[in-house]
Amino acid sequence: MYYFDHSATTPLHPKVKELMGDVGEFHFGNPSSVHASGQKAKTLIETARGQMAKAIGCNSNEVIFTGGGTEANNLVLWNLIHQKKKHVITSVIEHPAVLNVLDSLEEFGVTYSAVGVDKTGMVNPDDVQNALTEKTGLISIMLANNEMGTIQTISEIEAIAKKHDIIMHSDAVQTLGKIPVNAKELGVDCMSFSAHKFYGPKGVGVLFVRKGLKLKPLIIGGNQERRMRAGTENTPGIAGLGLAAELATKNLHNTQSHLDGLADTFKAQITHICPDVIFNGHPEKQLPGLINVSFPGFRNDLLMIHLDRQGIAVSSGSACSSGDIKPSLILSAMGIKDEINNSTLRISFGTGNSQQDVEYLTKCIKSTLERIRSAA
Ligand code: PLP
């Protein structure tokens, strides 16, 4: 299979897979148990916490393990029901793991304003400033978007939050291992991550919670995770996440050049094959290896079916809305007309892809376009 859908999920790194197998087999003790087996499991969890903290530039005690990126977002957002200030500023291009949660919170008195984006997918910090009310208790803006990869100017938005004493959260699920992410430098209060986006396991994530900020748990029970997330820890998953975070950030520079190289080749070749393609997103502030490209006149569902038959995995829009042929809300928010919107593919390269893979991809796209054109 030729896999170009790394923004949806990534394969497990072989070293992560090996570690998780070992942990599951040999270190299955309950981390809360006092005996040696339990304490070994506890040590593994604390090692992973240290690895994650190093990867995102924070202290170990600021890392809370969760059951994934969705849960990390929920943990922050559900806290609004306990806050006095129940208004949230977010953006129209957030993942459903933010926007749908906010919709659900409305019955608990939470309101929100979703600011728009420009044609490159960028939030204007002035719009955030203008959306402030006396009741604003949280600003939640993603660090980078999962569909077209635009990287937001989070520090500028965070400065607005700080000035008005508002909690700042950022969904950074798409970023680790692709761009430098430093919690201290960004200045945010909370940030969400998900291991399966950086060659770690599914169903495990992290919420960075700045020291001093106390969140009420979403999942209530024992005293795990500083009482912010109860339940016996997923030791193999957490150990896998820790190692994956270390590996993903260790050779970040090389990964970036590799992904940029693949994207540059793809763009050059595809423009040659189909000169009227449109690349969506920001020209510079863009996740490496993520290409959102429209093929005017061609339906993306047809393109995907043809490519799938040739063993190629790409996506149209985010994985969460695939199977749904409605135009992407993200691209609509950027002002892209439905016809172009519905001709768009997301191609996301990963560390395992090669230049030969890109050649195969462009060759298959070329023959697919020809076949569709001749059948019309
Ligand atoms: N936030 C963003 C930006 C995502 O891309 C995703 C996954 O697609 C999530 C949150 C949800 O993360 P998870 O799959 O770990 O629940």
What is the domain partition of the chain in residue ranges?
2-9+252-375, 14-250
State whether the beta carbon of 29 lies less than 6 angstroms from ligand 1.
Answer: no
| Structure tokens belonging to residue 204 | 């495990």
Instruction: Count other Cβ atoms within 10 Å, centred on residue 154.
Output: 25
What b-and-e string marks burial along 207-222, b requiring 16 or more CB atoms within 10 Å of the CB?
A: bbbbeeeebebbbeee
What pTM was computed for the model?
0.97
Question: Does ligand 1 come within 6 angstroms of the Cβ of 10?
Answer: no
Active site residue 58: no
Any ligand 1 atom below 6 A from CB of 194:
yes
The burial of 205, by beta-carbon neighbours within 10 Å (0-12 exposed, 13-18 middle, 19 or more buried), is given as buried
Looking at residue 228, what is its pLDDT?
96
Read off the pLDDT of residues 313-357 as tens digits, 9 standing for 90 and up: 999 864 444 455 689 999 999 999 999 999 999 999 999 999 999
What confidence score (pLDDT) does residue 329 get?
Answer: 95
Q: For a ligand 1 pocket test, name from 146, 179, 348 the mutation site with the most ligand atoms within 8 angstroms of its C-beta.
A: 146
pLDDT in tens, 132-191: 999 999 999 999 999 999 999 999 999 999 999 999 999 999 999 999 999 999 999 999
Whether 205 and 185 have beta carbons less than 8 Å apart is answered as no
- Given a cut of 50, the residues of the chain with pLDDT beneath it are 318-322
Write down the pLDDT at residue 168. Answer: 98
| Lookup result for tokens 């024992």 | 222
The per-residue b/e assignment along 50-72, b for 16 or more CB within 10 angstroms, e otherwise, is ebbbbbbbbeeebbbbbbbbbbb
Quote the CA–CA distance of 157 and 124 in Å, as a whole number.
9
CB 295 within 8 A of CB 369: yes
* Closest to 148 in 3D by CA, of 362, 328, 365: 328
Please say whether the structural domain 2-9+252-375 has been given the CATH code 3.30.2320.80.
Answer: no
Q: Is 346 in the pocket of ligand 1 (CB under 6 A)?
A: no
Handedness of CA 121, 125, 127, 133 (dihedral sign): positive
Evaluate whether 50 touches 169 at the Cβ level (below 8 Å).
no
pLDDT at position 321: 47
Task: Please give the pLDDT value at position 175.
Answer: 98
Question: Phi-psi bin for 153: left (phi > 0), alpha (psi -120 to 50), beta?
Answer: beta
Note the pLDDT of residue 167. Answer: 98
How much is the pLDDT for 326? 85
Index of the ligand 1 atom closest to the CA of residue 68: 15
Cα separation, 253 vs 251, in Å, equals 6
Architecture of the CATH domain 14-250: 3-Layer(aba) Sandwich (3.40)
pLDDT of residue 376: 79
